[in-house]
Structure formats: C-alpha cells, structure tokens
Structure 1
Amino acid sequence: MRRKDRQIEDVSEIAGILERCETGYLATCGDDMRPMATPVNYVYSGGSIFFHCALEGRKLDNIKANPNVGFTVATDIEIDREAMTTRYASVMVEGIASVVDSPMKKKEIISLLIGRFAAEGAHCSEEIAARTNIVEIRASALVGKKNKC
C-alpha cells in the first residue's frame, strides 16, 4: 500500500469493518475478460465472506470461469470539502470464490443472512433454498485502509 499512514494493521479492526458493512462490491472477470462489479449483501464468518445469488447468471459464470475475485467495502464516509479529502474506513479483499456445495453449510449461511437482513422471525423455505446459491470468498489478502484526518 502506497499510503502506509492509512493502512489498518489490526486484524480485529478489519473484521469489525467487514461485520459493520452490509453491502460489498464483488469484482469478477470471466473468460470474455470483461470486468464486472456487483453490489451484494453478505456475511463475514470464520474469515470468509459469503453471499447469496441465483443458480445462474453472469456473476456466477464469471466465478466459474475465473474464481479469483476482489471484494471491497467502505463505511464512515464523509466528504470534507474544505480540506478536499474524504474520511472513510475500508477493506479490500482478494480471494478465491466458490459455490458452497455442502447442504449443511449452505443452510447455516442462509440462516446467518436471514438473521442479518430479514425481519425478525423470517425463515428460508426448502423451496427458496433449492433455488439459491451461496458463494464463499476465501480471502488470500485483506487490506484495511482509513482516512480519519
């Protein structure tokens, strides 16, 4: 990282940012070499990022063709026009994405997603679970960055 003064080295602070944010931006690139960035709701659990998606589509096609992905989140964003800067806290992730095959793991992650994003008492029917993929990003690099000046 060029700006070492903005790097977050505390792993718990990086995890805290990932746990606080609700939307992340998934960057993929398929066989056609066309990049795509997609906003996704996610959960951060056990050092991995998980999100749900349909059973087919460009995002999934890209992941199957090239599992190397980028993922980023940002929070506490405040533009300071006087100082001509932006205050923020962010995390950038490099990792390998794969569809979760284990029915038990899939159900566990769907429960985490429901707990985080759905109304109290909501649940996922077997029918909905059957037409939902869960993708895991196993992070190979996590970089936190902030500007609080």
Structure 2
Amino acid sequence: MRRSEREIKDYKLLENLLKQGEVIHLALADAPYPYLVTVNYGYRDDALYFHCASQGRKIDLLKQDPKVYFQIILRNELVRAESACRWTTKFTSVCGEADAVIQESHAEKRKALQIIMGHYGLHDSEFTENMTKNMLTVKLNIVSLSAKSNEE
C-alpha cells in the first residue's frame, strides 16, 4: 500500500468495519472482462454471506472460479478546495480476497440468512424450507483483508 499512513492494520478495527458496511461489491472472474456485482451481506467469524437466485451469471461464474475480490465502502465524501490540486476525498474502505462456497442445504441457507438479517438489525428471523428452496446462499471465506481511511 503506497500510502501506508492510511492503512488500518488492527484486526479488531477491520472486523468492526466489516460489521458496519451496508453492501459489498464483488469482482468475479469472467472473460473478456471481470464481472462486478453489488449485494447485501452479513459478516460473522471471518466470513461474509450473501444470498442470490439459484441460477444466473453470478452463480455460473462462482462455480467456474470460486475466488473473488470484494470491496466495502463505508464513507466517501468529496472535499472541494479553491485549487484543483487541493481537492480530496475523505473515505474509509475495506478490500479483500475470499473463497466462495455455494450453500445448498436448507440448514446452511437458514443460518446464512439469519446472519445477513442480523447484520441489518433484524435478529431471530425464521426461514422455512419453502422460503429457501429457490435460492442459494454463498459463504465467502476471507483469505486476506486490507483497509484504508483518509478520515481525520
């Protein structure tokens, strides 16, 4: 990281940022260009979770290559100045690499959905097999994390 003074290294702070985010941007391998998609998520125990349809481009790509890159932007504020060269952005973001595991059993989907809903403040949600039969959940096992902040 070129601007090392902006790097967040403390794992507890990194974990706290993962708990605060609202959406995650996922970069998936595709040809001739990568595929980028934004999803809601939940975080627990070094893993991110999201849900999706059981068919489609996202799932097809994850089956071909489960390695993903992700980004969570927690703050992004343009700061204007009198001189163009003095403009800046106040930001905090977390990026990382993860290995995706597609979850197909009702028990896995139920747990993942509870983590996702808990992330947004709705705890103790129940999900029946009928509710989960036409969807999948994906667990992203975090391999690496980095974070930067330009907030003072």
What TM-score results when the alignment is normalised by the length of structure 2? 0.87
Amino acid aligned to 2:128: S
8 A contact 1:8–1:14 mirrored in 2: yes
Identity of aligned residues (%): 29
Query: Helix, strand or coil for the counterpart of 2:110?
Result: helix
Matched, 1:40 2:43: no
Deviation for aligned residue 1:75: 1.2
Query: Helix, strand or coil for the counterpart of 1:53?
Result: strand
Aligned equivalents of 1:119 and 1:10: distance in 2? Answer: 28
Number of residue equivalences:
148
C-alpha change, 1:44 and 1:120, in structure 2 (3 Å) is closer
Partner deviation per Cα, 1:53-72 (whole Å, 9 max, x = no partner): 11011011111111110010
Query: Helix, strand or coil for the counterpart of 1:95?
Result: strand
Q: RMSD between aligned alpha carbons? A: 1.9
Query: Helix, strand or coil for the counterpart of 1:25?
Result: strand
Partner deviation per Cα, 1:12-66 (whole Å, 9 max, x = no partner): 1111111111101011013x34311101000011100110011011011111111
Q: Which runs of 5+ in 1 are unaligned?
A: none
Matched, 1:70 2:73: no
Partner deviation per Cα, 1:102-127 (whole Å, 9 max, x = no partner): 53232111122233448788643322
Matched, 1:125 2:128: yes
C-alpha change, 1:115 and 1:34, in structure 2 (3 Å) is same
What TM-score results when the alignment is normalised by the length of structure 1? 0.89
Aligned equivalents of 1:20 and 1:3: distance in 2? Answer: 23
Amino acid aligned to 2:52: C
8 A contact 1:114–1:123 mirrored in 2: no
Query: Helix, strand or coil for the counterpart of 1:8?
Result: coil
User: Which residue number corresponds to residue 58 of structure 1?
Assistant: 57
